[in-house]
Amino acid sequence: MSNELSFFDIQHEDESKLANQFVELMNGEYHYNEKHRELMEIQWNNFLKNYSKNKTDKLNFLKKIQSQEECSSMLCELFLVNSFASAGYNLAPPPLEGYPDICLIKGEKKIWIEVTRSNSGNKNHGVPSIESLEGISDMYEIDDLIKLRIANSIKSKKDQYNRFLKEGIVSENDLYIIALCSPFQYPDFPGEPRVVRTVFSMGKPVITLNASTLEKMGEYWDDQSTVEKKENVEIEIGHFSPERKGDYDWLSGILFFGDINFHSFLESFDGLNSTFFVHNSYSKNPLLKNSFKVAKEFSLENNIVVNN
């Protein structure tokens, strides 16, 4: 490759810290081969064109994406940078580490995007591995655990936004978006995705029946404003609901997508077509609909969730 920094230039003295999927890709093991290595170098080269020009920053990113601890989250960032670039958006590479992950320039406006990947949490309040369960006995409990992880991810980025604002990195007039990878493999209820239900205070699905004939009359989602973190401790959700519009009016919306690994990234890269966007109707700096070429958009109109 023409790029001076290969994706496979090892940045760790202790190779036991390398991510398993990175080692498999590098060595052509499992379901990887030379074609995947070549594709990864191309994607890496494309990424560097839109990343910080500082060599130390490039090396730091490479070290992180090779590591077991941060590989998955850094791959999400690489995926999004290349997705926006391949779709023709105008990216402004961050001048240094410590800025939001992505900056898009649209006319006179800046659109900052901070990427995060929800984790499973601790053993007491975390989302259990789907492989660890023979059957899902209480899907509602699993649903709340995943909503809790999503809510924690959003909350952590709120604290980070306030720091960016205080340091003058972002302006109150800039659009600000959280890009959220929700890696959980549990099947969702039919209807709206969990991320949408989390930010719009949507709880369990409810079906109404005719008392005499038991014929289905209608269905709706009940209201849910909190999820339980631990006994007697509730965490607020409904970030884009009327009740919380003052708390999250700095946030234009959430771009979300499912889990990514090297194999899915290299075999079926579909860019923004594999992502979704949920609008914050109460944002001070809303993103216009159809601004991003995503699979589907969600918004709250007259207290009804609309998707298109």
CA-CA distances (angstroms) from residue 197 to 115, 187, 221? 20, 14, 9
The pLDDT, as a whole number, for residue 170 is 95
- pLDDT, position 145: 85
Q: How far apart are CA 243 and CA 247, in angstroms?
A: 9
Concatenated DSSP letters of 71-99 = HHHHHHHHHHHHHHHHTT--B---SSTTS
pLDDT over 70 at 130, yes or no: no
Query: In sequence order, what are the beta bridge partners of 278?
Result: 254, 298
Mean pLDDT, residues 279-304 taken together: 93
Determine the Cα–Cα distance for residues 176 and 283; give it in Å rounded to an integer. Answer: 10
Exposure letters 4-27 (e unless 16+ CB within 10 A, then b): ebebeeebeeeeeebbebbebbbe
1 pLDDT tier (thresholds 50, 70, 90) = very low
Q: Which residues contact 16 (CB under 8 A, 6 or more apart)?
A: none
81 phi and psi angles, rounded to 5 deg: -60, -50
Mean pLDDT computed over 54-65: 92
Q: Which of these, 168, 174, 153, lies nearest to 250 by C-alpha position?
A: 174
Whether 299 has a pLDDT exceeding 70, the answer reads yes
Mean pLDDT is lowest, of 73-77, 159-163, 243-247, for: 243-247
Q: Which residues contact 258 (CB under 8 A, 6 or more apart)?
A: 181, 182, 183, 274
Burial category of 302 from C-beta neighbours within 10 Å (exposed 0-12, middle 13-18, buried 19 and up): exposed
76 closest CA partner among 120, 108, 103, 113: 113
pLDDT at residue 165 tops 50: yes
Query: For the chain, what are the domain ranges?
Result: 87-307
Distances (CA, A) of 225 to 38, 290, 300: 48, 29, 16
Q: Which of 240, 242, 259 is nearest to 250 (CA)?
A: 240
CA distance 149 to 161: 19
Q: Nearest Cα to 132, choosing from 175, 186, 207, 51?
A: 186
Q: Over the stretch 184-199, which tens digit does the pLDDT of each residue have? A: 756 666 678 899 999 9
Q: Which two tokens stand for residue 39?
A: 């594709």
What are 238's two structure tokens?
């409904």
What residues contact residue 231 under an 8 Å CB cut-off, 6+ apart? none
